């Protein structure tokens, strides 16, 4: 009820701001709009039609628009549309006011010609900082770091460090961590804002800094950086090169975006979809992204059909076997997907490194054996009571036991193999492992049926 009331109040507020825009009541619009949190400003902005947005560009400064764009979470095409609406000089100034990492994220979504145009228009200092980050490979620490941080020298006093902090705090993305560098700009220590505030003015920085600094290498994968920040409960992490020169920092707000992006990406792959973040409203575009996996699965499905065809004589002699094909195949797919999810999560969270591959495989094999035995005994009793045929019940039961055990091991093994081959384990998607386990289960089921044909007849 409370959330509904808040939404209604927010809607009325947005309607009031829109009316002020349409009536060209600039002063009142600016008062109400700038009183909103930047996140709410961004929500208002993306809800508007082009004519309203064009008015906003006239009534807001590039710096005020920069705060809005830093909060936007939209698809690539939207950035292109919004920036094309603006005067190029206005857009370039807005990008220069943004934190460097946020500006780089937006520019990475644009055409190279547009990027060059904006960099030419904006100031030399801002353009240089952005250019320095643009050349880093996407999805690495370098691509998401910011150069707006506060660095101190070890031979400074707390009093001089406080003066530096006051002078540079306005332009730094975070002031909760202060990084200590030597004359060659190598990272030698870190201290928190609290450490600085509780120390005496004449205390040397080298006496209160922590020399054991957790850092990320500039070419380190962003997912690994996110895991590191989570493990050490950091609000920010310094980024260094191979010689430990301090290049920038990554703040927790960027890592939250990385975690959401990686989770969405992994879920997309587990579902056998190329990209779930695009929000395609065009069915042709959506189909284009889903078709590659579906075509692969189509050919794998043909292998399953071909395998069943090889056991055509067995099916002709004992037609009742066909009744249990969906059961055997479905159960193997389910248990394989469960094991796959556990293995992919173990790799993603780093538990795999601690536990080891053999422990994981043995554990999943044991799980498959227990679940297979339980389900096998149950289905044996059910088939016997239903069809009054103990041999048929035993066949289905043993088949289920074998397929669940093998499918569980396969579900855990496939992502581990891909991990060793330096392939994203998430591409071992649910549909993929399900189809593979269909082939395995059909082979086991009909293989056992052919061997014990005489007992079934």
- On whether both 74 and 37 belong to a single domain, the answer is yes
At 161 the pLDDT is 94
Report residue 25's pLDDT band, with 50, 70 and 90 as the boundaries.
very high
What CATH code is carried by the domain that includes residue 346?
1.10.357.20
At 320 the pLDDT is 80
**Does position 384 have pLDDT exceeding 80, yes or no?**
yes
State the Rg of the chain over Cα: 30
What average pLDDT does range 136-149 have in this prediction? Answer: 90
At 287 the pLDDT is 66
* Pairwise CA distance, residues 201 & 123, whole Å: 37
Give the domain extent around 65: 2-135
* Pairwise CA distance, residues 76 & 402, whole Å: 48
At 416 the pLDDT is 81
- On whether both 113 and 181 belong to a single domain, the answer is no
What average pLDDT does range 172-201 have in this prediction? Answer: 94
What average pLDDT does range 356-368 have in this prediction? Answer: 84
**Does position 325 have pLDDT exceeding 90, yes or no?**
no
Give the contacts of 271 (CB within 8 A, at least 6 positions apart). 429, 430, 431
- On whether both 295 and 417 belong to a single domain, the answer is yes
Q: What is the DSSP letter of 140?
A: B
- On whether both 230 and 304 belong to a single domain, the answer is no
Report residue 281's pLDDT band, with 50, 70 and 90 as the boundaries.
low
Last residue of a domain, one of 215, 235, 266: 266
- On whether both 159 and 81 belong to a single domain, the answer is no
Domain count, the chain: 3
Structure tokens at 163: 């003066």
**Does position 138 have pLDDT exceeding 60, yes or no?**
yes
- The more confident residue out of 256 and 6 is 256
Last residue of a domain, one of 233, 266, 299: 266
- On whether both 219 and 287 belong to a single domain, the answer is no
- On whether both 111 and 159 belong to a single domain, the answer is no
* Pairwise CA distance, residues 161 & 164, whole Å: 5
* Pairwise CA distance, residues 223 & 229, whole Å: 10
- On whether both 175 and 259 belong to a single domain, the answer is yes
Query: Is the residue at 141 inside a domain?
Result: no
Query: Is the residue at 276 inside a domain?
Result: no
- On whether both 99 and 196 belong to a single domain, the answer is no
What CATH code is carried by the domain that includes residue 122?
1.25.60.10
Query: Is the residue at 413 inside a domain?
Result: yes
Do 141 and 250 touch, CB atoms closer than 8 A? yes
Angle, helix 252-270 to helix 222-232, in steps of 10 degrees: 120
Last residue of a domain, one of 211, 237, 266: 266
* Pairwise CA distance, residues 382 & 452, whole Å: 20
- On whether both 123 and 252 belong to a single domain, the answer is no
Query: Is the residue at 146 inside a domain?
Result: no
At 66 the pLDDT is 94
What stretches of 311-324 show up as alpha helix (H) in DSSP? 312-317
396 membership: H or E segment, kind and range: helix 390-420
């Amino acid at each position: 009820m409370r959330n509904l009331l808040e939404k209604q109040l927010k809607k009325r507020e947005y309607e009031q701001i829109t009316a002020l825009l349409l009536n060209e009541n600039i002063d009142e619009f600016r008062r109400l709009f700038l009183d909103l949190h930047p996140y709410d400003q961004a929500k208002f902005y993306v809800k508007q039609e082009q004519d309203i947005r064009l008015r906003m560009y006239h009534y807001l400064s590039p710096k005020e628009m920069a705060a809005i764009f830093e909060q936007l979470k939209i698809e690539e095409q939207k950035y292109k549309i919004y920036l094309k609406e603006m005067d190029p000089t206005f857009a370039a100034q807005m990008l220069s006011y943004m934190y460097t990492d946020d500006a780089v994220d937006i520019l990475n979504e644009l055409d190279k010609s547009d990027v060059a145009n904006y960099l030419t228009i904006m100031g030399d200092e801002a353009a240089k900082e952005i250019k320095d980050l643009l050349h880093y490979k996407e999805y690495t620490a370098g691509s998401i770091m910011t150069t707006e941080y506060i660095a101190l020298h070890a031979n400074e006093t707390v009093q001089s460090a406080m003066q530096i902090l006051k002078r540079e705090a306005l332009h730094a993305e975070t002031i909760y961590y202060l990084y200590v560098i030597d004359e060659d700009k190598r990272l030698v220590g870190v201290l928190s804002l609290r450490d600085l505030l509780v120390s005496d003015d004449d205390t040397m920085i080298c006496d209160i800094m922590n020399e054991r600094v957790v850092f990320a290498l500039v070419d380190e994968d962003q997912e690994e950086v996110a895991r590191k920040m989570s493990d050490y409960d950091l609000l920010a992490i310094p980024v260094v090169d191979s010689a430990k020169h301090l290049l920038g920092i990554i703040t927790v707000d960027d890592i939250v975006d990385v975690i959401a992006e990686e989770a969405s990406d992994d879920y997309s792959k587990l579902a056998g979809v190329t990209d779930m973040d695009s929000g395609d409203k065009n069915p042709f575009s959506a189909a284009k992204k889903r078709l590659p996996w579906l075509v692969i699965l189509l050919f794998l499905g043909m292998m399953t059909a071909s395998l069943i065809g090889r056991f055509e004589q067995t099916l002709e002699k004992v037609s009742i076997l066909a009744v249990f094909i969906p059961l055997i195949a479905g159960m193997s797919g389910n248990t394989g997907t469960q094991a796959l999810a556990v293995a992919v999560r173990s790799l993603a969270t780093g538990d795999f490194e601690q536990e080891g591959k053999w422990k994981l495989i043995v554990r999943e094999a044991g799980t498959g054996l227990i679940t297979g035995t339980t389900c096998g005994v149950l289905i044996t009793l059910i088939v016997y009571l239903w069809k009054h045929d103990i041999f048929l019940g035993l066949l289905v039961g043993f088949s289920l036991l074998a397929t669940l055990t093998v499918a569980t091991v396969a579900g855990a093994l496939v992502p581990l193999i891909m991990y060793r081959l330096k392939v994203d384990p998430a591409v071992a998607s649910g549909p993929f492992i399900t189809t593979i386990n269909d082939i395995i289960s059909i082979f086991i089921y009909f293989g056992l049926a052919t061997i014990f044909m005489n007992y079934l007849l």
